[in-house]
Amino acid sequence: MSAQIFEDSNTTSTSGRGTVVVSGVASDAHTWNLVFLQLMIEELGYDVVNLGPCVPAELLVAECEQHKPALVVISSVNGHGYQDGLRLIDEVRASSELVATPVVIGGKLGIAGSLDEGASDRLVSAGFDAVFEDGARTVLSFYDFMAGLPSAATPLAARTKVSV
């Protein structure tokens, strides 16, 4: 499974802002979330490497070491995102090359609606830079986060138009 999902999407040209890795967690099979995030992030001017669903932590680490992404976006909706997220961030942060790489997680991370505050704090103290739980304003706050990344300062080729 790799970056190129759609022959007809705008993945082909290099956009200049760097690479974002999009990935599911080890137990999560959902992919519509990943496809959506890939398209959205490409529209912001990044190249996306989409690792697909059910990604073991070792594979995620290896891919990140290879691609040296500007950002890693973890998405999970099956309700195990909190548990799987804690496992994977330990492995990511254990790699000396990925200590400072921005890594965020989002989606439906628990099975009972939104996580309690303690749980999302734990994700942050375990090493995630931000947590985006599914809600009406999730995507907008993600845009804000993206706009604050160092890579966002790179000017874009004129063709990219962002639509929400």
Residues binding other proteins (CB under 8 A): 1, 5-10, 26-29, 31-32, 34-36, 39-40, 43, 50, 52-55, 78-80, 82-84, 87, 108, 110-113, 163-164
Residue type, 69: P
In terms of DSSP bridges, do strands 71-76 and 19-23 run parallel, antiparallel, or are they unpaired? Answer: parallel
Binding mask 82-121 for ligand B12 (x = CB under 6 A): ----------------------x-xxx--x----------
Side-by-side strand order, sheet with 71-76: 47-50, 19-23, 71-76, 103-107, 130-133
- By a kind-dependent CB cut-off of 5 to 8 A, residue 75 interacts, out of other proteins, ligand B12, none, with ligand B12
- Shortest distance, position 96 Cβ to other proteins, whole Å: 26
Tell me which stretch binds ligand B12 (CB under 6 A): 7-15, 44-52, 75-83, 85-93: 75-83
Instruction: Please answer whether residues 49 and 19 qualify as being in contact, where contact means their C-beta atoms are separated by less than 8 angstroms.
Output: yes
Q: How far apart are CA 115 and CA 157, in angstroms?
A: 39
